[in-house]
Amino acid sequence: MSLRAAGIQAFGDEVALLELPEPPPLETGQVVIEVKAAGVANWDEFVRTGDWDVGRVPPLALGVEAAGEVVDVGPGVEWPAAGAPVMTHPLPLPYQGCWAERLVAPARLVAEKPDNASWAEAGAFPVPALTSEQVVAEVLDVQPGETILVNGAGGVTGGMIVELAANSGATVIATASESSAARVMALGADVVIDYHDPDWTSLARDAARSTGIRAAANAAPGGEADALSTLVDGGRLATITGAPPPEERGISIANVYIRPDGDELRLLAASLAEGKLHIDIRASYPLTRAADGLAQATKGSGGAVVFEP
């Protein structure tokens, strides 16, 4: 038997259907998940080109997040049991990526899928949710009453950063296109500024005139320096798209990379279940149309893209 997947034979290849060998016998602490939905996003492009090391070389199924049903458990696994609906960001990959009929994950990086989340929502949730939590709670340590700028709030991850910061009691100044503004307000932003306005950084500083912007999260590719420029002296910037050149104003700059974390994912799954976090799905593709799905995921936003094998 073989495993149908979407991925690459060599770094840089276009994504295509692959027939991979079935996973080897499970090691201690591993589970097999039958994939119902797997997230597709522009970070998968970095895996395709070899710029993001996911712990394996081609031939490689891409995909770093998924939801599905546990179908086999290895030695020493107390939870989850076979039949459990789960989601995961299983890096480094124990076997292959998530754009496949089945995947192998360490049980410690698995969280239960909330009943009220669809497979697609759960499959596209782990990466944006973990990244956003790490930006808001760990790196920026956003405090109630503080004013935070979220640059790139129209994106899936940017939107979750807005939601988590608003849930923390912060005042959120967000940037988004006109077409995304209503959604970003609904996620909890207090002010939304169109980043196409050449003066948007001054508008953001004006909007925070009484307190100044002490914390900024940048989720806009190329928006790092602009986000930095909105901060007061001594402020702090967390960026998930690369670091800007430093400024001599006592500003701390953190170039944040997602950290896989099952405990954190389980807490975030509870927030999804309680309606404190949201994820919109804009498109779903079968694995046979993987190249189309990846192309759409790397263009624009308004929601996440998934593969449903």
Interaction site with ligand NAP (CB under 6 A): 41-43, 127-128, 131, 151-152, 154-158, 175-177, 180, 195, 219-223, 240-241, 256-258, 300-301
Minimum distance of ligand NAP from residue 222's CB (angstroms): 5
For the chain, strand residue ranges (E) read: 2-8, 16-21, 30-40, 60-61, 66-73, 85-88, 102-106, 110-112, 147-151, 171-175, 191-193, 213-218, 231-239, 252-255, 281-285, 304-307
Contact 240, 157 (CB under 8 A): yes
Rank residues 127 and 142 by Cβ distance to ligand NAP and give the closer one: 127
**Token pair of 16, please?**
């295509």
Strands 2-8 and 16-21 come out as antiparallel
Rank residues 200 and 308 by Cβ distance to ligand NAP and give the closer one: 200
Please state the φ and ψ torsions of residue 20, each to the nearest 5 degrees. -105, 155
Rank residues 3 and 298 by Cβ distance to ligand NAP and give the closer one: 298
Instruction: List, in sequence order, every residue forming a beta bridge with 238; answer none if it has no partner.
Output: 217, 254
Minimum distance of ligand NAP from residue 237's CB (angstroms): 13
Rank residues 30 and 284 by Cβ distance to ligand NAP and give the closer one: 284
Rank residues 3 and 267 by Cβ distance to ligand NAP and give the closer one: 267
How many Å apart are CA 207 and CA 27, to the nearest integer?
A: 54
- Beta carbons within 10 angstroms of residue 39's beta carbon: 32
**Token pair of 119, please?**
């497979």
Minimum distance of ligand NAP from residue 79's CB (angstroms): 27
- Beta carbons within 10 angstroms of residue 208's beta carbon: 20
Minimum distance of ligand NAP from residue 7's CB (angstroms): 18
Minimum distance of ligand NAP from residue 158's CB (angstroms): 4
Rank residues 10 and 182 by Cβ distance to ligand NAP and give the closer one: 182
Minimum distance of ligand NAP from residue 35's CB (angstroms): 20
